[in-house]
C-alpha cells in the first residue's frame, strides 16, 4: 500500500544540493490500471498501482537493464525524467489530537525536480505508514498547496500530457 501526500513548492531549500539525490526515468505501459517502468539510478522496476489518490495498492517487481530498455520502447506518451532529492523531516508536525506512535518517526520529503518538457515543475511527496498519520500531517512552511487530490499531479497523467511546440 502506498500512502502519500503531494505538495506544490513555495520555495526550494537553499541547501538542496547537500541532500541525497536520485536520477529517475519512468514511462507508462498503461495508465488504467497504472503499469509503470522505472529506472532509479542503476536499479530498474516494473510497478503496478491501483486506483486512488492518497492511498492505493502498489507492487514493485525488479527488472534488469535489458528488460527495462525493451519495455521502454513500448511505452505510451512522455518519458518522465527527474531528480529526486531526499530531505528528512527532523520533527514532523501533526494536527492536535493525533496520537503519536511509540516508535520514532522517520518521514522524508521526496522533492522531484522535473526535466523538460515538464520543467519547471517541482513536486514534493511525503509517504506515510498509515492514512491517519497522512491526514494529520502538517507540512513544513516551505511546502505549498496540497495537491494530493488533484489527479493532474500524478505522473501517469503527466505522461499523457500533450506539449505544443
As given in the structure block, the three cell numbers for residue 33 are 490500471
Per DSSP, 84 falls in state E
Q: Cβ(10)–Cβ(3) under 8 Å?
A: no
What does pTM read for this prediction?
0.93
pLDDT tens digits, one per residue of 139-163 = 999 999 999 999 999 999 999 998 7
Peptide bond into 85 cis (omega under 30): no
pLDDT tens digits, one per residue of 90-135 = 889 999 988 888 877 789 999 999 999 999 999 999 999 999 999 9
As given in the structure block, the three cell numbers for residue 99 are 496520537
Q: Cβ(86)–Cβ(80) under 8 Å?
A: no
Amino acid at each position: 500500500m502506498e500512502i502519500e501526500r503531494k505538495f506544490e513548492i513555495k520555495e526550494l531549500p537553499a541547501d538542496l544540493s547537500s541532500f541525497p539525490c536520485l536520477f529517475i526515468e519512468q514511462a507508462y505501459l498503461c495508465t488504467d490500471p497504472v503499469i509503470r517502468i522505472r529506472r532509479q539510478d542503476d536499479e530498474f522496476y516494473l510497478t503496478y498501482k491501483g486506483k486512488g489518490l492518497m492511498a492505493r495498492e502498489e507492487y514493485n517487481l525488479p527488472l534488469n537493464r535489458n528488460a527495462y530498455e525493451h519495455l521502454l520502447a513500448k511505452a505510451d506518451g512522455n518519458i518522465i525524467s527527474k531528480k529526486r532529492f531526499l530531505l528528512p523531516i527532523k520533527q514532523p508536525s501533526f494536527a492536535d489530537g493525533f496520537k503519536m506512535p511509540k516508535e520514532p518517526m522517520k518521514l522524508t520529503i521526496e522533492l522531484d525536480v522535473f526535466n523538460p518538457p515538464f520543467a519547471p515543475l517541482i513536486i514534493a511527496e511525503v509517504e506515510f505508514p498509515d492514512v491517519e498519520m497522512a491526514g494529520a500531517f502538517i507540512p513544513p512552511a516551505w511546502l505549498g498547496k496540497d495537491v494530493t487530490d488533484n489527479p493532474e499531479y500524478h505522473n501517469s497523467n503527466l505522461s499523457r500530457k500533450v506539449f505544443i511546440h
